[in-house]
Amino acid sequence: MRRIRLKSISDKYFENAWRIYEESFPIEERRLIDAQAHVMKNPNYHFDIIIDEKQLVGFLLWWDFDSYRYIDHFATSIQQRNKGFGKLILEEFIGRTDKPIVLEVELPNSTINQRRINFYERIGFKLNSHYYEVPPSVTDQLPIQLLLISYPTLLSLKDVEEFVELYHPILFKD
């Protein structure tokens, strides 16, 4: 299994990775293609695809900030789910840094959302209970309430407030 960083929407594999992205996330949690092309120019942003035996398994979209590594989006292809790839990808990612890792999860108000949270917790992530919301990616929509999940420890309320203050302007700028 190997990870390849894409730097442009014209790179090989991007179209197939984008298809997985659109299948995996609701529209209110996705970027539009023009916004994705723009964000890929940021040196702190990584659009990493995962290849196993010449096959696209999934992707890990993440930011390398001073204080954290923030996972923006992470998914495996529908055909590769429940085969252990997600766990392997995240364990390899965790092993490459000493920085805390943060990502957002949906509220545990459905079976599928709870299953996703349980998946991250089995790897060692901690579910934070502080109120947290993000601006919508679609104009004229309400903010989206989510929760932060972090590795290797819980975040304090102050950590969450600082994360929002420092990184939301980068993550959610127009």
The burial class, CB within 10 Å (0-12 / 13-18 / 19+), for 11 is middle
Model pLDDT, residue 141: 82
Q: Which amino acid is at 96?
A: R
Read off the tokens for 79: 């055909």
CA dist., res. 59 & res. 45, Å (int): 13
- % of the chain beyond a pLDDT of 90: 87
Quote the CATH superfamily of domain 2-171.
Gcn5-related N-acetyltransferase (GNAT) (3.40.630.30)
Domain ranges of the chain: 2-171
User: Is residue 174 very low, low, confident or very high in pLDDT (cuts 50, 70, 90)?
Assistant: low
What pTM does this model have? Answer: 0.94
Question: Has residue 86 got a pLDDT over 80?
Answer: yes
Model pLDDT, residue 27: 84
Mean pLDDT calculated for residue range 16-42: 93
Give the pLDDT confidence of 50-67 residue by residue, as tens digits: 999 999 999 999 999 999
Give the pLDDT confidence of 104-122 residue by residue, as tens digits: 999 999 999 999 999 999 9
Mean pLDDT calculated for residue range 95-110: 96
Contact 129, 105 (CB under 8 A): no
